[in-house]
Structure 1
Amino acid sequence: MRKKTQLMTAVMLFSTSIAVSQMKVRDEVPAKYKWNLTDLYSTDESWKVEKERVQQQMKQVASYKGKLTQSAATLLEALELNSGLAKEMVRLSSYASMKSDQDTRVTKYAGMKQELQQLFAEYGALVSYMEPELLTLEESKLNAFFAAEKGLVTYKFYLMDLLRKRAHRGSEEVEKIMAYSSLMSGNAANIFSTFSNAEFPYPEIELNGKAITLNSANFALYRASEDRAIRSKVFDAYFNKLNEFQRTFGAQLYGNINAGLFATKARNYNSTLERALDDGNIPTAVYHNLVKNVNGNLNTFHRYLNLRKRMMGIDTLHYYDLYAPLVEQVDLAYTVDEAVDNILKSLKPLGKDYVDVSNKAFNERWIDMYPNEGKRSGAYSNGSAYDVHPYILMNYNGKYNDMSTLTHELGHTMHSYLTNKKQHFANADYSIFVAEVASTLNEELLNDYMLKQIKDDKVRLAILGNYLEGAKGTLFRQTQFAEFESMIHDRVAKGEALTGEDFDKMYLELTRRYYGHDKNVCIVDDNVKSEWSYIPHFYYNFYVYQYATSFTASTALSEKVLRGTDEDRKKYLNFLSSGSTKYPVDLLVDAGVDMNTSEPFDLTIAKINKVMAEMEAILTRLGK
Structure 2
Amino acid sequence: MLNKTKLMTAMLLFSSSMAMSQMKVRDELPDKYKWNLTDLYATDEAWKQEKDRLQTEMQKVAQYKGKLTQSPATLLEALEFNANLGKEMTRLYSYASMKSDQDTRVTKYAGMKQELGQLFSQYGALVSYMEPELLTLKDEQLNSFLNQEKGLATYKFYLTDLLRKRAHKGSEDVEKVLAYSSLMSGNAANIYSTFSNAEFPYGDIEVDGKTVKLNASNFSLYRASENRDIRKKAFDIYFGKLNEFQRTLGSTLYGNLNSALFYAKARNYNSTLEAALDAGNIPTDVYHNLVKNVNSNLETFHRYLNLRKRMMGVDQLHYYDLYAPLVDKVDLSYTVEESIDNILKSLKPLGKEYVDVSKKAFNERWIDMYPNEGKRSGAYSNGSAYDVHPYILMNYNGKYNDMSTLTHELGHTMHSYLTNKKQHVANADYSIFVAEVASTLNEELLNDYMLKQIKDDKTRLAILGNYLEGAKGTLYRQTQFAEFELMIHDKVAKGEALTGEDFDKMYLDLTRKYYGHDKGICIVDENVKSEWSYIPHFYYNFYVYQYATSYTASAALSEKVLNGSDNDRKKYLDFLSSGSTKYPVELLVDAGVDMNSKEPFDLTISKINKVITEMEAILTRLGK
TM-score, normalising length from structure 2?
0.98
Q: For residue 215 of structure 2, what is the aligned residue in structure 1?
A: 215
Q: For residue 237 of structure 1, what is the aligned residue in structure 2?
A: 237
Q: Which residue identity lines up with residue 614 of structure 2 in the other structure? A: E
Name the CA distance, whole Å, in 1 between partners of 2:107 and 2:132: 38
Name the CA distance, whole Å, in 1 between partners of 2:255 and 2:403: 36
Per-residue CA deviations over 1:112-170 (Å, capped at 9, x if unaligned) read: 00000000000000000000000000010000000110000000000000000000000
Name the CA distance, whole Å, in 2 between partners of 1:515 and 1:338: 35
The residue correspondences of 1:433-472 to structure 2 (distance < 5 A) are: 433-472=433-472
Q: For residue 166 of structure 1, what is the aligned residue in structure 2?
A: 166
Per-residue CA deviations over 1:287-336 (Å, capped at 9, x if unaligned) read: 00000000000000000000000000111000000000000111300000
Q: 1:206: Cα distance to partner?
A: 1.1
> Cα 1:323–1:20, aligned 2, differ >3 Å: closer, same or farther?
closer
The residue correspondences of 1:302-313 to structure 2 (distance < 5 A) are: 302-313=302-313
Name the CA distance, whole Å, in 1 between partners of 2:427 and 2:19: 43
Which stretches of structure 1, 4 residues or more, deviate above 3 A after TM superposition? 12-15, 17-21
Q: For residue 366 of structure 1, what is the aligned residue in structure 2?
A: 366
Q: Which residue identity lines up with residue 451 of structure 2 in the other structure? A: L
Q: For residue 226 of structure 2, what is the aligned residue in structure 1?
A: 226
Query: Alignment partner of 1:314: what SS?
Result: coil
Q: 1:16: Cα distance to partner?
A: 2.8
Q: For residue 42 of structure 2, what is the aligned residue in structure 1?
A: 42
Q: 1:534: Cα distance to partner?
A: 1.0
Q: For residue 189 of structure 2, what is the aligned residue in structure 1?
A: 189
Name the CA distance, whole Å, in 2 between partners of 1:14 and 1:558: 35
Structure 1 residue 117 corresponds to structure 2 residue 120: no
Structure 1 residue 274 corresponds to structure 2 residue 279: no
Unaligned runs of 5+ in 1: 1-11
Q: For residue 8 of structure 2, what is the aligned residue in structure 1?
A: none
Per-residue CA deviations over 1:473-505 (Å, capped at 9, x if unaligned) read: 000000000000000000000000000000000
Name the CA distance, whole Å, in 2 between partners of 1:535 and 1:18: 27
Query: Alignment partner of 1:523: what SS?
Result: coil
Name the CA distance, whole Å, in 1 between partners of 2:584 and 2:22: 40
Query: Alignment partner of 1:151: what SS?
Result: helix
TM-score, normalising length from structure 1?
0.98
Any conservation in 1 of the 2:19–2:370 contact (CA below 8 Å)? no
Q: For residue 393 of structure 2, what is the aligned residue in structure 1?
A: 393
Q: Which residue identity lines up with residue 202 of structure 1 in the other structure? A: Y
Any conservation in 2 of the 1:14–1:333 contact (CA below 8 Å)? no
Q: For residue 152 of structure 1, what is the aligned residue in structure 2?
A: 152
Query: Alignment partner of 2:543: what SS?
Result: coil
Q: Which residue identity lines up with residue 330 of structure 2 in the other structure? A: V
Per-residue CA deviations over 1:433-470 (Å, capped at 9, x if unaligned) read: 00000000000000000000000000000000000000
The residue correspondences of 1:126-137 to structure 2 (distance < 5 A) are: 126-137=126-137
Q: Which residue identity lines up with residue 269 of structure 2 in the other structure? A: Y
Q: 1:24: Cα distance to partner?
A: 2.5
Query: Alignment partner of 2:205: what SS?
Result: strand
Q: For residue 346 of structure 1, what is the aligned residue in structure 2?
A: 346
Name the CA distance, whole Å, in 2 between partners of 1:290 and 1:543: 13
Any conservation in 2 of the 1:325–1:331 contact (CA below 8 Å)? no
The residue correspondences of 1:522-537 to structure 2 (distance < 5 A) are: 522-537=522-537
> Cα 1:295–1:577, aligned 2, differ >3 Å: closer, same or farther?
same
Any conservation in 1 of the 2:383–2:416 contact (CA below 8 Å)? yes
Any conservation in 2 of the 1:350–1:569 contact (CA below 8 Å)? yes
Query: Alignment partner of 1:392: what SS?
Result: strand
Per-residue CA deviations over 1:372-410 (Å, capped at 9, x if unaligned) read: 000000000000000000000000000000000000000
Any conservation in 2 of the 1:14–1:398 contact (CA below 8 Å)? no
Any conservation in 2 of the 1:21–1:395 contact (CA below 8 Å)? no
Q: 1:215: Cα distance to partner?
A: 0.4
Name the CA distance, whole Å, in 2 between partners of 1:13 and 1:37: 22
Q: For residue 8 of structure 1, what is the aligned residue in structure 2?
A: none
Q: For residue 506 of structure 1, what is the aligned residue in structure 2?
A: 506
Name the CA distance, whole Å, in 2 between partners of 1:288 and 1:14: 48
Per-residue CA deviations over 1:164-201 (Å, capped at 9, x if unaligned) read: 00000000000000100100110000000000000000
Name the CA distance, whole Å, in 2 between partners of 1:225 and 1:579: 40
Name the CA distance, whole Å, in 1 between partners of 2:501 and 2:18: 36
Per-residue CA deviations over 1:90-125 (Å, capped at 9, x if unaligned) read: 000000000000000000000000000000000000
Any conservation in 2 of the 1:508–1:526 contact (CA below 8 Å)? yes
> Cα 1:518–1:584, aligned 2, differ >3 Å: closer, same or farther?
same
> Cα 1:17–1:144, aligned 2, differ >3 Å: closer, same or farther?
farther
Q: Which residue identity lines up with residue 592 of structure 1 in the other structure? A: G
Q: 1:20: Cα distance to partner?
A: 5.6
Query: Alignment partner of 1:206: what SS?
Result: strand
Q: For residue 296 of structure 2, what is the aligned residue in structure 1?
A: 296
Name the CA distance, whole Å, in 2 between partners of 1:421 and 1:342: 26
Name the CA distance, whole Å, in 2 between partners of 1:20 and 1:220: 11
Name the CA distance, whole Å, in 2 between partners of 1:244 and 1:330: 37
Q: 1:13: Cα distance to partner?
A: 12
Q: 1:22: Cα distance to partner?
A: 2.1
Q: Determine which structure has greater relative contact order: mean sequence separation of CA pairs < 8 Å that are 6+ residues apart, divided by chain length.
A: 2
Identity over aligned pairs, percent: 83
Name the CA distance, whole Å, in 2 between partners of 1:507 and 1:531: 8
Q: CA RMSD in A?
A: 1.1
Q: For residue 258 of structure 1, what is the aligned residue in structure 2?
A: 258
Relative to structure 2, which stretch is displaced further, 200-209 or 466-475? 200-209
Q: For residue 422 of structure 2, what is the aligned residue in structure 1?
A: 422
Q: For residue 326 of structure 1, what is the aligned residue in structure 2?
A: 326
Q: 1:205: Cα distance to partner?
A: 1.7
Any conservation in 2 of the 1:344–1:358 contact (CA below 8 Å)? yes
> Cα 1:13–1:119, aligned 2, differ >3 Å: closer, same or farther?
closer
Name the CA distance, whole Å, in 1 between partners of 2:21 and 2:132: 51
Q: For residue 586 of structure 2, what is the aligned residue in structure 1?
A: 586
Name the CA distance, whole Å, in 1 between partners of 2:15 and 2:218: 14
Name the CA distance, whole Å, in 2 between partners of 1:365 and 1:213: 28
Name the CA distance, whole Å, in 2 between partners of 1:20 and 1:205: 14
Query: Alignment partner of 2:170: what SS?
Result: coil
Name the CA distance, whole Å, in 2 between partners of 1:330 and 1:118: 52
Any conservation in 1 of the 2:20–2:398 contact (CA below 8 Å)? no
Q: For residue 62 of structure 1, what is the aligned residue in structure 2?
A: 62
